[in-house]
Chain A
Amino acid sequence: MNNDTLLSLDRLSIGFGDTTVVKELSLDVRRGETLALVGESGSGKSVTALGALNLLPPNATIKGGRWLGDTDLSRLTPRKWQGLLGNRVGFVFQEPMTSLNPLHTIGRQLAETLRLHQGLRGRGARHRCRELLEQVRLPRAEELLDAWPHQLSGGQRQRVMIAMAIANQPELLVADEPTTALDVTVQQEVLALLAELRDHHGMGMLFITHDLNLVRRHADRVCVMRHGEHQETGTVERVFQSPQSAHARELLDAEPEGVPTPCGDAPTLIEARQLSVTFERRRRLFQRRQPGFEALAPLDLHIAAGETLGVVGESGSGKTTLASALLRLNQAKGVIDFAGARLDQLSGKALRQQRRNLQIVFQDPYGSLSPRMPVADIISEGLRYHQPELSEQEVSARVRATLREVELPEHVAQRYPHEFSGGQRQRIAVARAIILEPRLIVLDEPTSALDRTVQKQLIALLRDLQARRGLSYLFISHDLAVVRAMAHRVMVLKEGRLIEQGPCMDVLSRPADPYTRALVKAAGLVPQG
């Protein structure tokens, strides 16, 4: 064993009951390096880290050797584990929104780690906490100590989590998808910070992620997993240049590719002028009403038949608000012309009749299907309402045809949503939209909850449907690679304002606005040949 080796796993197997989720995995993390553990969701990445460090529920069975430096982890008593976790090993989890206790101030949560492992209290602890917050580059550290978690943004919370993880100067830092919930530009800052801290403290870092883009830029070595099995390990350059396992090649190829078929000079389908959304603030008793919050500043847009308009921006930029306003799902000001009629002046029944022409597919494949209805009912619900004259046979024939169109087997119609994977659910959501034969579909981050390989298939399907049915899409995404593969034109939003718009290729290759340039840079797009 190398002297530099920090964490070493030797044929580690983890199982729950009869199912094995990690099979004979061997890997080691050296001091001062970042090892990326890569795989799709369900490949056993997180379980490996949690299992090696005894953080799984007691019904998990763990076999094989695991060492932290000279300590044999498989023989530690619970008391020894308490002394080790948070002290020699630090953790950063994925969800910054839920990994801080909302009822304690930042300072108190930070001080808790210090008290437990170093016995620091009172003024000393406070001083050290401020030092830690400064180390993770949080401004106004003194004020932040007394702040509550909800007063911080996602990126700031993740920095606090990192401060907690490094508080006791651990030898090993486990970062489990630390940036997945963050905006792309923030992602880069957080990862740069992690790398800097690693070099400064000489830590080893186990970086768990599904995003190969991040691996390429922030890891030294990479270990690829699939279905709990080790695929290959190697330096980042080697694996990215000449992947040896089939699965690594598949992952690398999974970058969304291709461009949408050009749509030519089609007539305009929907046009919005001076569309804006303002949320009114609560009026306090005996006080003047405060000016409303402008979620979307007035903007114009138009989409031609068969065209895809991409909408790009970070969270809170008003992308979804724009989509809801366009579909008249929330209150908005402005003119909306849809196929020659004023959509913004319809109401009641007339509006409901028109809705079948404007459909939407949501981001979360788990939340957008009612868990209590079988797939056939979910898909046919709108059809039954809009065309009550159809007989039971006609409806089920339409459902089967639609399932075929989204490339799902017909026999799934009687199953319930929980039996499907994320990608399949998203296909069901698409089927629910297209069975009404709409002319415009709003796709609200349809691919962001999916693995890259599944994403690629869904994008191909969506492009296919567009070509076959002449559909128009409003495609919302924060992922520039996906937008490039889908959109003809693109709009960049920031804080509810239109920053830049134009043909997709032009905007992405020659961004005019500094904000767009930062986005493009952070996304690290691989040039398409």
Chain B
Amino acid sequence: MPSLSPITRRRLAVFRHQRRAWWSLWAFGLLFVLSLGAELIANDKPLLVQYQQQWYFPMLVDYPDTVFDGFLPTAADYHDDFTRNAIESDGWMLWAPIPFSYDTLDEYLDHPAPSPPDGRHWLGTDDQGRDVLARVIYGFRLSVIFALVLTAGSLVLGVLAGGVQGYFGGKVDLIGQRLTEIWSGLPVLFLLIILASLVEPNLWWLLGIMLLFSWLGLVDIVRAEFLRARNLEYVRAAKAMGLPSHLIMWRHVLPNAMVATLTFIPFLFTGAITTLTALDFLGFGLPPGSPSLGELVAQGKNNLQAPWLGITAFMTLAVMLSLLVFIGEGIRDAFDPRHVQSASGNTTPQGSPAHEQ
């Protein structure tokens, strides 16, 4: 489509008009973009090294110790005093603002791990001596990407299944509905726990299993919209024009169903993040060592003497989920037709005028 349709433009205006949702979107977007560059913010290798008039990029390339006058052919440890002195004697290093990655064990701690926040570790370390801030940044990125992929996947499956059931109706609908009901009766959590004992669960396993079930929530909404839309006059006109079903669904029915679907997306999204966190908390989630917010929550619970762990985990989740809920509210209101009508002025919904008595 060459330009935005007027309805979309009005919805955008309503959304922008809601300051809380609009700012939340910007804040969340900014956080996500920043976390995409997590390697530039928190890294246990220098971003750039100049040594003996030569440039090195330790962030991208693994250099052996021997390059920097060491004895071992293993990868260089830039926190090691020997290497550090060697480089700084004939060049310099550019470090990321946080010189630790999510899995860096800091061997030079002043306190026993978990160590409290100080100048070296801004949010302290966890009980294995890893930097909490670095883990939060990487964990945030992982959660959001997980949720994005899961939401996109459920969207495709849910719209496809709901669309086919709603558009064709009749027997297709009847059988499809019964199948989804049976499918949704399977206990997801048990499946994940059983899986955790059979295979080493990684990100893709989790994603796959969750995807098998998360689309079910969308089916009913999309199906209802398709059921309604298939009898709209312009859909019947398209049918009378001889267009094949897939074109009618794609061009005429889907845009209608998208309104209800889009409203649902933020809630799918927050649901995905919470589920991942919960699984990690219980220990059935990502493999040990992965940067995960759920694991941080578990650490906070196990180390009540180190409140920075629990507080950080809580604040991260609270801010992230609140921003998403605000955005979700904004989207829901923007798609509310009663708001669209009064887009120019206030955004409060109006009751029906002139009701008798």
Q: Please give the residue numbers on chain A whose beta carbons come within 8 Å of chain B beta carbons, in ascending order.
A: 50, 55-57, 85-86, 91, 93, 99, 112-113, 116, 164, 327, 329, 351-356, 358-360, 362-364, 367-373, 381-382, 385-386, 416, 418, 429, 432, 436
Instruction: Report whether A93 and B353 are in contact in the complex, using a CB–CB cutoff of 8 Å.
Output: no
Q: Which of B14-28 contact A (CB under 8 A)?
A: none
- Is B237 part of the contact surface with A, judged by Cβ < 8 Å? yes
Shortest Cβ-Cβ A-B pairs, 7 listed: A355-B242, A382-B241, A368-B233, A352-B242, A55-B354, A86-B357, A367-B233
Contact B233 A386 (CB under 8 A): no
Contact B356 A93, beta carbon cutoff 8 Å: yes
- 26 A–B contacts from the bound complex (CB under 8 Å): A55-B353, A57-B350, A91-B356, A99-B356, A116-B357, A327-B240, A329-B240, A352-B243, A352-B244, A355-B241, A355-B242, A356-B242, A358-B240, A360-B236, A360-B237, A360-B240, A362-B236, A364-B233, A368-B237, A372-B5, A381-B241, A382-B241, A382-B243, A385-B241, A385-B244, A432-B237
A372 near B7 with CB under 8 A, answer yes
**CB-CB nearest in chain B for A369:** B234
- Asked if B6 is at the interface (CB within 8 A of a chain A CB), the reply is yes
* C-alpha spacing A354/B236, complex, angstroms: 16
- Chain A residue with the shortest CB-CB distance to B245: A352
Asked whether A56 and B354 contact (CB < 8 A) given A367-B234, A368-B233, the answer is yes
Given that A57-B350, A416-B6 are known contacts, is A385 also in contact with B242, CB under 8 Å in the complex?
yes
Q: Which residues of the partner chain A approach B243 to less than 8 Å between Cβ atoms?
A: 352, 381-382, 385
Whether, in the assembled complex, B301 has its beta carbon less than 8 Å from a beta carbon of chain A, the answer is no
Which of B238, B243, B350, B356 has the most C-beta atoms of chain A within 10 angstroms of its own C-beta? B356
The answer to whether the Cβ of B252 comes within 8 Å of any Cβ in the partner chain is: yes
Report if B251 contacts A (CB, 8 A): yes
Instruction: Give min CB distance, B334 to chain A, whole Å.
Output: 16
A-B contact count (CB 8 A): 83
Picked from B6, B234, B242, B252, the residue with its CB within 8 Å of the CB of A382 is B242
B239 interface hit (Cβ, 8 Å): yes
Q: Which residues of B contact A382 (CB under 8 A)?
A: 238, 241-243
In the bound assembly, the distance between CA atoms of A356 and B255 in angstroms comes to 25
Which residues on the B side are within 8 Å of A372 (C-beta)?
Answer: 5, 7, 255
Contact across chains for A362 and B242 when beta carbons are under 8 A apart: no
Q: Which residues of A contact B238 (CB under 8 A)?
A: 381-382
Say yes or no for B247: interface residue by CB 8 A criterion. Answer: yes
Q: Are A381 and B251 in contact (CB under 8 A)?
A: yes
Q: Give the residues in chain B near A99, CB-CB below 8 Å.
A: 356
- New contact pairs (9) apart from A353-B242, A368-B233, A385-B243, CB-CB < 8 Å: A55-B354, A86-B357, A164-B356, A368-B234, A372-B255, A381-B238, A382-B241, A382-B242, A416-B6
Q: Assess whether B34 is interfacial by the CB under 8 Å rule.
A: no
Q: Which B residues, 208 to 253, have Cβ-Cβ distances below 8 Å to chain A?
A: 232-234, 236-244, 247, 251-252
Q: Is B240 a contact of A86 with CB atoms below 8 Å?
A: no
B242 closest partner in A (C-beta):
A355
Q: In the bound complex, what is the Cα–Cα distance between A1 and B356 (angstroms)?
A: 30
CB proximity of B246 to chain A, nearest CB, Å: 11
Q: How far is the CA of A360 from the CA of B232 in the complex (A)?
A: 14
Shortest C-beta distance, A385 to chain B (Å), equals 5
CA distance A381 to B243 in the complex (A): 9
Q: Which residues of B contact A112 (CB under 8 A)?
A: 357
A386 with B357, Cβ < 8 A, contacts A329-B236, A368-B233 known: no
**Bound Cα distance from A385 to B242, whole angstroms:** 8
Whole-angstrom distance between the Cβ of B346 and the nearest chain A Cβ: 10
Minimum CB–CB distance for A308 against chain B, Å? 19
A346 to chain B, nearest CB (A): 11
- Least distance between B325 CB and chain A CB atoms (Å): 28
Residues of B within 8 A of A386 (CB): 242
Chain A residues contacting B251 (CB-CB under 8 Å) are 370, 373, 381
B6 x A370 contact (CB < 8 A): no
Asked whether, in the complex, the Cβ of A356 is within 8 Å of the Cβ of B241, the reply is yes
CA distance A113 to B357 in the complex (A): 7
Q: Which residues of B contact A359 (CB under 8 A)?
A: 240-241
A385 contacts B247, CB within 8 Å? yes
In the assembled complex, the Cα of A85 lies from the Cα of B357 at a distance in Å of 7
B-side contacts of A373, CB under 8 Å: 251
Q: Complex formed: what's the CA distance from A360 to B242 in Å?
A: 11
Cβ contacts under 8 Å, A354 to chain B: 242
A contact residues around B241 at 8 Å (CB): 355-356, 359, 381-382, 385, 432, 436
Min CB distance, A135 to chain B, in Å? 19
A155 to chain B, nearest CB (A): 19
A288 to chain B, nearest CB (A): 20
Listed residue (A56, A86, A99, A382) with the most chain B CB atoms within 10 angstroms of its CB: A382
CA distance A329 to B240 in the complex (A): 7
Cα separation A367 to B252 with both chains bound (whole Å): 12
**Given the complex of chains A and B, what is the CA–CA distance between A250 and B238 in angstroms?**
37
Contacting residues, chain B, for A93 (C-beta < 8 A): 356
B234, closest chain A residue (CB): A370
Q: What is the distance, in angstroms, from B22's C-beta to the closest C-beta of chain A?
A: 24
How many Å lie between the Cα of A355 and that of B237 in the bound state?
Answer: 11
How far, in whole Å, are A353 and B240 apart by their CA atoms in the complex? 11
- CB pair A418–B354 under 8 Å, yes or no, is no
CB of B15, distance to nearest CB on chain A (Å)? 18
A367 near B240 with CB under 8 A, answer no
A363 surroundings in chain B (CB, below 8 A): 233
**A residues less than 8 Å from B240 (CB atoms):** 327, 329, 355, 358-360
A173–B241 Cα distance when bound, in Å, is 48
CA distance A57 to B342 in the complex (A): 13
For the complex, give the distance between the alpha carbons of A121 and B240 in Å.
Answer: 56
* A112 and B5 alpha carbons, distance in the complex (Å): 45
B278 to chain A, nearest CB (A): 39
